[in-house]
Amino acid sequence: MARWEPDARQRLERAAIELFTEQGFAATTVPEITARAGLTTRTFFRHFADKREVLFAEDRATEAAYRLMGEAPPDADPLTLIVAGLRALAAERFEPRRDDLRARRAIIRSDEGLRERELRKRGALHDVVRAAFIDRGLAPATAALLAEIGATLLYVSLEEWLDRDDARPLADLILDTLGELRAVLTVSPAPADR
Amino acid sequence: MARWEPDARQRLERAAIELFTEQGFAATTVPEITARAGLTTRTFFRHFADKREVLFAEDRATEAAYRLMGEAPPDADPLTLIVAGLRALAAERFEPRRDDLRARRAIIRSDEGLRERELRKRGALHDVVRAAFIDRGLAPATAALLAEIGATLLYVSLEEWLDRDDARPLADLILDTLGELRAVLTVSPAPADR
């Protein structure tokens, strides 16, 4: 629509994260967010259903993931596909926003309802990746396993990246986590009780 | 307390699952459950906070998991510990209740609130296993990775086991899933874009 729309969305996100951090999620109102951003309430509701959804706008990542997987060559190795997809996601959507993502994490941890919403988001992403692998012809159990691997690589690496202070990019931490996952699973023999 | 208490709990669980299946979760009341079980409402509330919690009584599995991990030898290999713990859990708590667990899964899928509660339960189990590994001296990222592996092995195997009709025990499917996890992770080389 209007040329300033993408900027409005970002300004609203930034203002909301600032206010949630300063005064708490529950205490912050939509009019306060729009006042901080210098925009109208009407503009706010053109972008977000409510103040909570400002923190979960990345749910469009779910659509993006599904689309990306549909576009990949049919014979692409599933793990390569997951790792390449996550590294692209990391570079494009996460790495430019490290401070905001840290603030977002602290806000979500502070509120039970937000923690539940975050779990639902992770569940939705898992379901989409699983469905996309089933569409690619994999057995449901294998598709579920790959979706779990994807979630593990993303969320373990993301936590680590937000905890760290060095310059190592998230995309590289994803490869580190993959290496550690392989090491943990291969060092041990099959359990002795069998 | 009284000698019949464990039996009362089981009768309430069975009655609740039957009624939720027959007439839906939302339409079922606590008095209906206690009438079906031949017990009083007072007895119900000695065991469960509300009708929803009948489906999540296994939350005590969280305490059991933490305790078990504390009792394991300090030098036990983490993956062996996870696999042995899950196989014990499978044999003791899941395998005797396959039909009830199938019915439970269908009930939970039917209700958004129950799906969220289930996600929270999984989150709590993850947090407990992660904390137990940190107590054992592992780095937080490694502990998180191991908790993710445990959740993956359990939930992927459990879904597969509930979908299947053969006699293969859940404890063995957990080993199958571990094998498939290793295969998926080792077949592929590191991603080519690096």
- What is the predicted pLDDT for the residue at B123? 87
Q: Around Cβ B193, how many Cβ atoms within 10 Å?
A: 10
Superfamily of structural domain B56-187: Tetracycline Repressor, domain 2 (1.10.357.10)
Q: What is the predicted pLDDT for the residue at A79?
A: 92
Q: What is the pLDDT along chain A (194 residues), one digit of tens a residue?
A: 444 556 899 899 999 999 999 999 999 999 999 999 999 999 999 999 999 999 987 656 777 777 777 788 878 899 999 999 899 889 988 999 999 999 999 999 999 889 988 988 888 888 999 999 999 999 999 999 999 999 999 999 999 999 998 999 999 999 999 999 999 998 655 444 44
> Residue B17 in contact with residue B33, Cβ under 8 Å?
no
Residues in chain B: 194
What pLDDT is stored for residue B156 in this prediction? 94
Whole-number Å distance between alpha carbons of A27 and A4:
29
Helix axes B78-89, B170-187, angle to 10 degrees: 140
- Interchain proximity B123–A123, CB inside 8 Å: no
Which CATH code for domain B1-54? Answer: 1.10.10.60
Residue A58 pLDDT: 61
Q: How many Cα neighbours within 13 Å face the side chain of A27?
A: 9
CATH 3.40.980.10 fits A1-50, yes or no: no
Nearest-angstrom CA–CA distance, A10 and B110: 37
Angle of CA points B23, B27, B33, to nearest 5°? 80
**Is any Cβ of chain B less than 8 angstroms from the Cβ of A112?**
no
In this structure, how many other beta carbons lie within 10 angstroms of the beta carbon of residue B10? 15
ipTM: 0.80
What is the reported pLDDT for A31?
97
Per-domain residue ranges of chain A: 1-50, 56-186
Q: Which CATH architecture does the domain made up of A56-186 adopt?
A: Orthogonal Bundle (1.10)
Residue B95 per-residue DSSP state: G
Among A3-12, A107-116, B72-81, B146-155, which is the least confidently predicted range? A3-12
Topology agreement, domain A1-50 and domain A56-186 = no
Measured between CB atoms, which of B84, B115, B140 is closest to A193? B84
Considering only the beta carbons, identify the residue of B120, B123, B145 that sits closest to A184. Answer: B145
How far apart are alpha carbons B111 and B124 in whole angstroms? 20
Higher per-residue confidence, B99 vs A75: B99
Q: Do residue B159 and residue A141 have CB atoms under 8 angstroms apart? A: yes
pLDDT number for residue B6: 64
Q: Is B152 on the interface with A (CB under 8 A)?
A: yes
CB contact B193 to A (< 8 Å): yes
Place of tokens 């036990």: B76
- Judged on CB neighbours under 10 Å (0-12, 13-18, 19+), B58 is middle
